[in-house]
Chain A
Amino acid sequence: MSETRYTDQHEWISLEGDEATVGITRFATEQLGDVVFVDVPEVGKSFAKGAEAAVVESVKAASEVYAPVAGTVTAGNYALGDDPSLVNADPEGAGWFFKLKLANKAEFDALMTKESYQEFAKGH
């Protein structure tokens, strides 16, 4: 059973065991518009919490995707390289960005729940 949390940078992170999948929320894709390019990190890269981990570009602008928690990359969604539109079509499914092995689960627990994120996104 996976558990999902959200960041104030409009990322979602879904945890199963000690591996988490990271992507951007539907709200983020609606703000960005049509995604045309995604740069996902290579397997084995380590990130501190809040480090720049991936790049997403829409027709309008480039945005950074930050590591919501510290960890080491275990997989990247390289399919997005050929078909970045997956991010718009299914942001919280097939449009995932990368998977991380968590360094510290407490960082995950401290992130927003779905309910608090929905409240947060309303104010934006």
Chain B
Amino acid sequence: MTTETLLRTPLYALHVELGAKLVPFAGYEMPVQYPAGVLKEHLHTREKAGLFDVSHMGQAFLSGTDPARSLEKLAPSDFTGLKEGRQRYGLLLNDEGGIKDDFMLSRLAGEAALYLVVNASMKDSDFAYIAKRLAGEVTVEPRPDRALLALQGPSAGAVLEKLSPGIDALSFMQVRRATVAGVEAIVSRTGYTGEDGFEISIAGEDAEKLARALLADPEVMPIGLGARDSLRLEAGLCLYGHDIDESTDPAEANLVWAIGKRRKLEKGFPAADKIMAGVLNGTARKRVGIRPEGRAPAREGTEIADKSGRVIGQITSGGFGPSLNAPIAMGYVEAAFAADGTEIDLIVRGKALPARIAPMPFVPNRYKRGTAL
């Protein structure tokens, strides 16, 4: 056991009451699963709706003369083109083009400050980096007083509509302030499961009231970090610190879609020439999806070999996909082996297990797309 003091989210008492198994994660004591268990929680989210406590994530507001333009110095997204009421995915880069973190940025209607959500394990480092690198232009106002809930699954729209009439009109990647169950919230139609759903930011003291209101709906079940991980892996989404980190750049991580069209031409983001050379000419290695042929999961760190036994890469996330009832993984391989269908071997407990490169997402996304995106 470690001696460090773990932080608790405002929902800690509720997790305990619900019978959660709590584990240390990113400095917090977080629910890894509830009594239903990871498999049931995962399948319930795909079938109905799951409630996740993601209050450990870092929330902040960025203000300044033009914080969107300033932030473009550190990230390749088109943030100046981000319209009111919209949210966009971003990559925070170091000077070498390595990924310091991935994040969501929102421009709320009628507000000058931008709303930022970053990974829990990186929040202190991210906020310090942005404040330092954009000193004099951008003020970072971290909001550790706020909690964050995610409601994910095909019933999420109908469930939230009952607590906040009109909210179901939001489409994927739209965001607005709303009152939910009598609580002031920032609601975005996004998530980390591949399903339709919302992320709901509220004041910490309102978190339990809102969570209880959501859990009172028979469609909603509490979901722990275990199922959150298997859901995002099936959706082909990266986990920071595993699938992407400072040693990977956006081109090899296959996140070229996170580089704005205008930015590809104008550049002006860290290591832009190097990253764009990778985009145009290819990179030495590439992030891919992998389907093992048997039932044995191949975990993070597993070596990937070609059919002659030469090591060509490594798995960065691997496990079991409950919706597919089969093992799935993602990892990096030499570019020559990155095409879908390429036969490879995974070296698990000294044995070569046959597998194939596979397209992602493993489970089709079911986002609620708007008519005009």
Q: CB within 8 Å of B: which residues of A? A: 33-34, 36-37, 39, 55, 57-62, 81, 84
* CB closest residue in chain B, given A62: B299
**Among A37, A60, A84: residue with most chain B CB under 10 A:** A60
Does A36 contact B297, Cβ atoms closer than 8 Å?
A: yes
Q: Are A39 and B296 in contact, CB atoms less than 8 angstroms apart? A: yes
Q: A37 touches which one: B37, B42, B320, B322 (CB < 8 A)?
A: B320
B295 adjacent to A34 (CB under 8 Å): no
Tell me which of B39, B296, B349 contacts A59 (CB under 8 A): B39
Instruction: List 5 extra interface pairs beyond A33-B37, A36-B295, A55-B349, CB under 8 A.
Output: A33-B33, A34-B37, A36-B39, A55-B296, A59-B39
Q: Let me know if A59 and B319 touch, CB within 8 A.
A: yes
- A57 — nearest CB in chain B belongs to which residue? B297
> Complex: how many Å from CA A81 to CA B295?
8
The answer to whether B226 has its CB under 8 Å from any CB of chain A is: yes
Q: How far is the CB of A82 from chain B (nearest CB, A)?
A: 9
- With a cutoff of 8 Å between Cβ atoms, the chain B residues found around residue A33 in the complex are 33, 37-38, 226
The 0/1 profile, CB within 8 Å of A marked 1, for residues 284-302 of chain B is 0000000000011101000
CB-nearest residue of chain A to B325: A36
Most chain B CB neighbours (cut-off 10 Å) among A33, A34, A84: A34
Q: Could you pull out 25 A-B pairs where Cβ atoms are within 8 angstroms?
A: A33-B33, A33-B38, A34-B39, A36-B39, A36-B295, A36-B297, A36-B327, A37-B297, A37-B320, A37-B327, A55-B349, A57-B296, A57-B297, A59-B38, A59-B39, A59-B226, A59-B230, A59-B319, A59-B320, A59-B322, A60-B38, A60-B226, A62-B297, A62-B299, A81-B295
A37 CA / B33 CA spacing, docked (Å): 19
Q: Mark B345-370, 1 if CB is under 8 A from A, else 0.
A: 00001000000000000000000000
- Which residues of A are found within 8 Å of B37, using beta-carbon distances? 33-34
Q: How far is the CB of B45 from chain A (nearest CB, A)?
A: 14
When chains A and B are docked, how far (Å) is the Cα of A34 from the Cα of B21? 14
Minimal beta-carbon separation of A40 from chain B (angstroms) = 12
Bound complex: CA A34 to CA B319 (Å): 12
Q: What's the nearest-Cβ distance from chain A to residue B311, in Å?
A: 20
34-54 of chain B: CB within 8 A of chain A: 37-39, 42
Expressed in whole angstroms, the minimum distance between the Cβ of B226 and any Cβ of chain A is: 6
What are the interface flags for B312-341 relative to A under an 8 Å C-beta threshold, 1 for contact and 0 otherwise? 000000011010000100000000000000
The interface residues of chain A lying within 8 Å CB-to-CB of B38 are 33-34, 58-60
Q: Nearest Cβ in chain B — how far from A12, in angstroms?
A: 22
Kindly state the separation between the CA atoms of A58 and B227 in the bound complex, as whole angstroms.
12
Query: Which residue of chain B is the closest to A34 with respect to CB atoms?
Result: B39
Q: How far is the CB of A59 from chain B (nearest CB, A)?
A: 4
Q: Which residues of A contact B42 (CB under 8 A)?
A: 59
Note all chain B residues with C-beta closer than 8 A to A37: 295-297, 320, 327
| Residue from the set B32, B296, B299 with the largest chain A CB neighbour count within 10 Å | B296
- Residues on A with C-beta less than 8 A from B39 are 34, 36, 59
Please provide the 5 A-B residue pairs with the shortest distance between their CB atoms, ordered closest to farther.
A36-B320, A34-B39, A59-B38, A37-B295, A34-B37
A39 to B348, CA, bound (A): 12
**Residues of B contacting A59 in the complex (Cβ-Cβ under 8 angstroms):** 38-39, 42, 226, 230, 319-320, 322
